[in-house]
Amino acid sequence: MKKKNELTSQLTTAIAACQDKKAEDLTILQMDKSSGAFTDYFVICSGSNPRQIQAISDEVELRLKRAGTYPNNIEGYKQAEWVLLDYVDFVVHVFSATARNYYDLERLWRTAKKLEPAEITAKPRRRAPARKAVARKRA
């Protein structure tokens, strides 16, 4: 299990790669601990054709490799209907519209919390330190 900051950074990188390659209908599922899921997050998106699906997958893999993170497994790349990139703590699913409707992971894992990309990529606000009241002396 990765540290939360490291995992958030990797998810942010994967999401940005999907967005930059114009992935459609980007969804993040935070898996319920009691569901028996084999990972913590699913990043799910769609491409409009096989070349775009492969381009999205390539960009996710390239950016994460640059950050020192390598996939445990990649499946479905040649067929480009459903490419699965397994990073253990999260899995990126890049679907064709037809395959996404057929497998409907959002329904299958409906106990998972559905997140918007901004909820992962937004940097948490740091609270400003409390200022001490300073008494001014009058001369």
Q: What is the pLDDT of residues 59-96, one digit of tens each?
A: 999 999 999 999 999 999 999 999 999 999 999 999 99
pLDDT score recorded for residue 1: 47
Residue 31 and residue 13: Cα distance in Å, rounded? 19
Asked whether the beta carbons of 8 and 89 are under 8 A apart, the reply is no
Q: Extract the residue ranges of the chain whose pLDDT is less than 70.
A: 1-2, 35-36, 122-139
Tell which CATH classification among 3.30.460.10, 2.30.110.10, 3.90.1210.10, 3.40.50.300 matches the domain 23-119: 3.30.460.10
Q: How many residues does the chain have?
A: 139
Is the four-CA dihedral 26, 19, 90, 125 of positive or negative sign? negative
Asked whether the beta carbons of 15 and 121 are under 8 A apart, the reply is yes
Q: What is the pTM of this model?
A: 0.82
Asked whether the beta carbons of 30 and 118 are under 8 A apart, the reply is no
Question: What residues does each domain of the chain span?
Answer: 23-119
